[in-house]
Structure 1
Amino acid sequence: MRYFLSPLFVLAACSPLAQVGKAPDFSALEGSYQHHAMYSAPFPEATDRDEPSDASSLWTATQASLLGDRRASQRGDIVTVVIEIDDRAEISNSTGRNRSGSQQMAIPSMLGIPQRVDRKLPDGASMADAVDTSSSSSFSGSGTVSRNERLTLRIAATVVEELPNGVLRIEGQQEVRVNFELRELIVTGYVRPADISRQNEVTYDKMAGARVSYGGRGQISDFQQPRYGQQVTDILLPF
């Protein structure tokens, strides 16, 4: 009996049962692209030795200057992503089809063969109407799609890579835990530096390959999902 229960305890430790009475854990940032971009050394910038140094000038082009451009431009910089989704779509279509057909074939006389055959046929049967068929079919179908989505979010993302063509790959992750429910927001995509505003913000519709994930995990999210056994039976049972 002891050997039979041991695998059950090991399975319980690796399953959601181990989180009973505990709040969901935050995702670790160590090892992610954001962590690597923040802590890695920046690439050296090429300088021209013939140009005089502007260290003593009051007006410079660096980000630290009074009128400097503080928009994200290199790996490790932070940019604010504004997500405002207000989509609405309605699609309705219908299809109808109707078809009918009939066919008749009679052999009243053919070298006297029909008359000879008629004598051997049951009463009422005749070769005068050898074949008489009719068919009809009808089909109708309709479908309606209605969708309404609205989402307004703001998240700070990190530039994790600068592509050779100047496009920036950004990645952001935000997690907020309230009691035993964890709300998480993830956004990734590619942006052009020219699309970043002077406020260091970029809207999601200017992101190529945008991936936005908004969800949660915790006690409430677990109750909204069907049990594992029900999910398995829904897949295996054909009815």
Structure 2
Amino acid sequence: MINTSVISMRLVKTIIALTLVSLMSACASAPPKDKSADYESAAPTAVTEDVSNMGSIYRSGYGMSLFLDRRARQVGDIITINLEEKTDASKSSSTATGKESNLAIPTVTLLGRGVTHNGVPIVNSGVSSDQDFSGQGTSSQSNSLTGSITVTVSEVLRNGSLRVRGEKWVTINQGEEFIRIKGIVRPEDIGADNAVPSYKVADARITYSGKGALADANSMGWLGRLFQSVLSPF
């Protein structure tokens, strides 16, 4: 006679073992590098060389003007974004309320005399209440980001503004750090060194993060995130 309870227990153990093996293999494998198309560099339109204008001194497509402004102005041009981000925010609030009320009822008399026991009134009533509330809260936040990143022009808008995007990856020992930025830049804000500060980038989206062992050590585990989520009843 086959013992179904033993078979069921072995099946459960096998499923648990396979699940643990799959989880360990998933954790051991390195995550793929996140390359979003939103941050890939934009290449300029290729210039076809005119062979008929080839000469010993002048060559078409290789001319250089001494008075040409070399600042970014078309798709594929390179521009440097100087990161100068610093924000500070603080907020505090304090509330205090109080309320006190008293209500006294005159002594009840019986046949013109007060009801007493051993000379002490026993029918004497009054109501009093006292309410107090005090609350206080403070909040503060600050961040700072400095550095530079070189991006490319991905689009020239109808009003002449430049849409830029780019990213930079740095691999250090056990992990990778990357910074991404995209936004809109006015040509008038570009300096003579072909650079513009980040606070002059409109619709800016700046991301600074990392991957690897150090980043994983600074992140909360899945069980901790479960208890911190809205699904947690605690």
TM-score (norm 2): 0.69
Unaligned segments of structure 1, at least 5 residues? 43-62, 109-113
**The structure with more strand, counted as a fraction of residues:** 2
Give the structure 1 partner of residue 211 of structure 2: 217
The 1:143/1:78 distance shift into structure 2, 3 A limit, reads: same
Shift of 1:189: 1.6
Shift of 1:69: 1.4
Give the structure 2 partner of residue 95 of structure 1: 95
The 1:8/1:142 distance shift into structure 2, 3 A limit, reads: closer
Please list, as runs of the form range in 1=range in 2, the aligned pairs for 1:110-125 lying within 5 A after superposition.
Answer: 124=121
The 1:179/1:96 distance shift into structure 2, 3 A limit, reads: same
The 1:16/1:167 distance shift into structure 2, 3 A limit, reads: farther
CA distance in 2, matches of 1:222, 1:153: 24
Give the structure 2 partner of residue 59 of structure 1: none
Give the structure 2 partner of residue 81 of structure 1: 81
Instruction: Decide which moves more: 175-184 or 81-90.
Output: 81-90
Shift of 1:85: 2.4
AA at the equivalent of 2:83? I
Give the structure 2 partner of residue 205 of structure 1: 199
2:149 pairs, out of 144, 155, 158, with: 155
CA distance in 2, matches of 1:228, 1:98: 45
Shift of 1:186: 1.0
Please list, as runs of the form range in 1=range in 2, the aligned pairs for 1:45-84 lying within 5 A after superposition.
Answer: 64-84=64-84
Give the structure 2 partner of residue 34 of structure 1: 40
TM-score (norm 1): 0.68
For 1:216-238, what per-residue CA distance to the aligned partner results, in whole angstroms no more than 9, with x for missing partners?
11101111122212221333433
Give the structure 1 partner of residue 173 of structure 2: 179
The 1:150/1:32 distance shift into structure 2, 3 A limit, reads: closer
CA distance in 2, matches of 1:149, 1:33: 24
CA distance in 2, matches of 1:170, 1:99: 60
Work out whether residues 33 and 160 of structure 1, in 8 Å CA contact, stay in contact via their aligned partners in 2: no
AA at the equivalent of 2:149? I
> What is the number of residues matched between the two proteins?
201
AA at the equivalent of 1:16? C
